Amino acid sequence: MVWDPLSSWVVGRPTPKLDAYEKVTGAAQYADDILLPGILFGKILRSPHPHARILNIDTSRAERIVGVKAVITGKDTAGIKYGVYHFCSDQLALCIDKVRYIGDEVAAVAAIDEDTANEALDLIRVDYELLPALFDPLESMNEGAPRIHDYAERNIVVSPVVSFGDVEKGFSAADYIRQDQFETPGQAHCALQPFTVVARFDTFEKLEMWTPNQSPFVKRRVLSKTLGIPMSHVHVRKSHVGGAFGGRSEMMSLDFCAALLSRKTGRPVKIGYTREEEFIATRKRHPMIIEIKTGVMRDGTLVAKEIKLIADVGAYASTGPIAILNGPFFGVLAVCRIPNFKYQGYCVYTNKPVSGAMRGHGVPEIRFADGLQMDMIAREIGIDPVEIRLKNAIQPGEVLPYKSKVTSCGLSECLKKASETMRWSQRKGKMPQNRGLGIGVGSCISGFHLGPRTTSAAIIKLEEDGDVALFTGSVDNGQGNETMLAMIAAQELGLKPTEIRVISADTDLTPQDQGAFSMATAFVTGNAVKRAAADLRCQLIQIAADALETNAAEMGMGEKKIYLKSNRDLNIPFAEVYRLSLQKDILPVGRGSFTPKIDDLYYSKGKHEGQFTNAFTFGAVAVEVEVDGSTGKVKVVDLAAAYDIGLAINPLAVEGGIEGSVSMGLGMALQEEVVYDRGQMLNADFTNYSFPLAIDMPPIRSIIVETRDEGGPYGAKESSGQPIVAAVPEAVANAIYDAVGVGITSLPITPEKILRALEEKERSP
């Protein structure tokens, strides 16, 4: 076979998204665009109390309203709890005995329109017995604190301890030791499309569902289990997704409620969350308290680090157990070599809305803390921040303390390129007053072990007219996955991406996919699609070679034709290959499947050791800020982001990923925080929850670093910009530290915090 995938026909060329026109013209179908005959509209009744026992629910008045077709409560569910891990599956479709946060789901109504449904909610009477509530994870962990979930002692979901080397010995050997405490708040995804679901149960107990989600196959499993129906009775269908950022990894109550209401009414049911519900009743980034003690040698070499981290999961565990290991494993140990390391994490319940996966998922939080401390250390021992990071940077081929091999690594190159772009060495230390330069690094994974759902597969079918249909279970959250996968198929088959028809994200029609999370699509689904396309290519070339009475090695492929390399005029168009193939009773169908050979963070050998990802990605962000000394306001003046992505299959999408990551990272650094008063979210709307707008954005100098990983398709690792989002808060905090000499240890770094710190600094000697 001679087709050379690296002759770069498609891969590596900036390619507009295949669905761009559809989206900008409004033709793309989102869940809220779906109207079905007889459709009903659902609304969910939420708890007004942070912690209470449900004594009684009286739905009779609501049911009597004209236009109300069904009211359901926890009693209408199978009462099966769901969650990310079996050991902490703790959430119900609708609460049965207790409510655990203000917003917890108590009942749901389906009616002929939303107004009627809302009216009915007002008439549902719930009798509660109030329970003492916990809002601070430290209080939750007190002996004798009321339990939020019966099983969880001291309200702790998990509290893993991880240790490599001998941390005590390390600290004894260190020339310099520093210990600090940091805090990071909750952050909301603010996806522009609010959660909306349409569910239709037919009379045969078969469920169709349209819901924005990062993995229809994971949803199918959870729906099957929670509704007590066979997997083959659940059909999760494609609709466009208006942003996910980790927030659409799990089922939400509306999904179950729509299904249950549809089953009860025999009619399709749509539930759409308001923006307020979107803030309160979906996942958010985990608020964290992070304590770090670091020991270094005089030359900046790290010798020991001890981290204690408390993550506030809110009322339900969700992805908490993952978030508290992502930070130390991928946010710390994958970016710096630390011979002696100890970590103690706590995943703790409170009576607040639920935390979950969000871009970076534990990594940006710990990078902010660890990176700001590193700059403090660097300043005190007199080393340049870039230099200290380079000195300790993980290198290609290294095996990390937890036995994961880093197959490819562009961390040092990212550090160099980002700092050089900002003319770091020329300018650092010579900045005008109140201006500063900061550096941050980030790392991330390309796929993660998520139980049985980790395989991606693809089927590619040649069509009668020579076009190609790609069946993939993958989801495009808006980041351009479909375009990327079409590019891979096109590359392998000598086609244009527009000649690939993508059928995606449908449990009935497409093969299994691991899901568009854990940064897995490029690596895992990408490999599956590449294999499927190569399989088809071999079939087509063989058929053409037979027809031309030559052998496959003599054949080339391009422009929807298979030609003799020595004489391109001797060629067979794909449509003719299709015909020839059928004459031989061969249906030209390629298939590919890819299962990462990686270990589970929790179940691998019981001690948090193994290969935890296919490949690591890296990034570095250098940023220049100006701080207004009288107001404390920070202006980000310039920013360079270098991103080791392995290979950029679609550089246009990768740059988009970098820009989005910068925006989210800046929001996290400077603006974003969900604020509660005794469990009641105070800023659950776009007026009071502030995130960066276009006008807030600095120029972004995107630098793509291509280390070509041995396992990824064409060397690609991921494309979502996660190392960048991880590096931004660290870089910004350090730039502010550089500009005005105060290290703000809690996010977001608001003008108030800076002013207070400047005042304190002035007061102190």
d(CA 78, CA 232): 18
Query: Interacting stretch for its own copies, rule CB under 8 A, among 35-43, 114-122, 242-250, 438-446?
Result: 35-43
Check binding of 567 to its own copies (CB under 8 A). no
d(CA 392, CA 390): 5
d(CA 481, CA 489): 12
Q: Which is nearer to its own copies, 407 or 510 (CB)?
A: 510
Check binding of 576 to its own copies (CB under 8 A). no
Dump the DSSP string for 150-169: TT-GGGEEE--EEEES-HHH
CB of 468 to its own copies, least distance (A): 9
CB of 53 to its own copies, least distance (A): 38
The single residue among 92, 106, 109, 457 that binds its own copies, judged by CB under 8 A, is 457
Q: Which is nearer to its own copies, 45 or 462 (CB)?
A: 462
Q: Which is nearer to its own copies, 473 or 660 (CB)?
A: 473
DSSP type of residue 674: -
Check binding of 600 to its own copies (CB under 8 A). no
Site for its own copies in 469-488 (CB under 8 A): 469
d(CA 170, CA 342): 11
Check binding of 113 to its own copies (CB under 8 A). no
Check binding of 509 to its own copies (CB under 8 A). yes
Chain center to CA of 445: 11
| Other Cβ atoms closer than 10 A to 278 | 22
CB of 504 to its own copies, least distance (A): 12
| Other Cβ atoms closer than 10 A to 589 | 16
What are the angstrom distances between the C-alpha of 68 and each of 46, 115, 116, 140? 18, 10, 7, 41
The single residue among 115, 168, 508, 752 that binds its own copies, judged by CB under 8 A, is 508
CB of 284 to its own copies, least distance (A): 31
Check binding of 129 to its own copies (CB under 8 A). no
Check binding of 63 to its own copies (CB under 8 A). no
Angle (CA) 664 665 670, round 5°: 100
- Total residues interacting with its own copies, rule: CB under 8 A: 49
DSSP type of residue 147: P
Cβ proximity of 400 and 406 under 8 Å: yes
Cβ proximity of 112 and 275 under 8 Å: no
Check binding of 23 to its own copies (CB under 8 A). no
The single residue among 379, 423, 501, 635 that binds its own copies, judged by CB under 8 A, is 501
Q: Which is nearer to its own copies, 367 or 561 (CB)?
A: 561
CB of 579 to its own copies, least distance (A): 7
d(CA 58, CA 294): 57
Cis omega (within 30 of 0) for bond into 748? yes
Cβ proximity of 474 and 508 under 8 Å: no
Q: Which is nearer to its own copies, 217 or 618 (CB)?
A: 217
Exposed, middle or buried: residue 547 (CB in 10 Å: 0-12, 13-18, 19+)? middle
Check binding of 592 to its own copies (CB under 8 A). yes
Check binding of 582 to its own copies (CB under 8 A). yes
Check binding of 589 to its own copies (CB under 8 A). yes
What are the angstrom distances between the C-alpha of 173 and each of 301, 512, 672? 11, 51, 40
Query: Interacting stretch for its own copies, rule CB under 8 A, among 336-344, 348-356, 381-389, 465-473?
Result: 465-473
The single residue among 143, 150, 585, 762 that binds its own copies, judged by CB under 8 A, is 585
- β-strands 105-111, 40-46 pairing: antiparallel
The single residue among 161, 192, 203, 606 that binds its own copies, judged by CB under 8 A, is 203
b/e for 312-325, b at 16 or more Cβ within 10 A?
Answer: bbbbbbbbbbbbbb
Question: In the stretch 409-448, what mask flags binding to its own copies with x, by CB under 8 A?
Answer: ----------------------------------------
Check binding of 580 to its own copies (CB under 8 A). no
Instruction: Tell which residue, 310, 371, 309, 369, has the closest CA to residue 336.
Output: 371
Check binding of 230 to its own copies (CB under 8 A). yes
- The two three-digit tokens of residue 240, written as one number: 């466009």
Check binding of 451 to its own copies (CB under 8 A). no
d(CA 115, CA 133): 32
Q: Which is nearer to its own copies, 398 or 463 (CB)?
A: 463
Check binding of 538 to its own copies (CB under 8 A). no
The single residue among 63, 202, 291, 609 that binds its own copies, judged by CB under 8 A, is 202
d(CA 667, CA 691): 5
CB of 264 to its own copies, least distance (A): 17
CB of 238 to its own copies, least distance (A): 12
Check binding of 25 to its own copies (CB under 8 A). yes
Positions that interact with its own copies (CB under 8 A):
21-22, 25, 27, 33, 35-37, 202-204, 217, 221, 224, 230-232, 452, 455, 457-459, 461, 463-465, 467, 469, 501, 503, 508-509, 511-512, 528, 531, 579, 581-583, 585-587, 589, 591-595
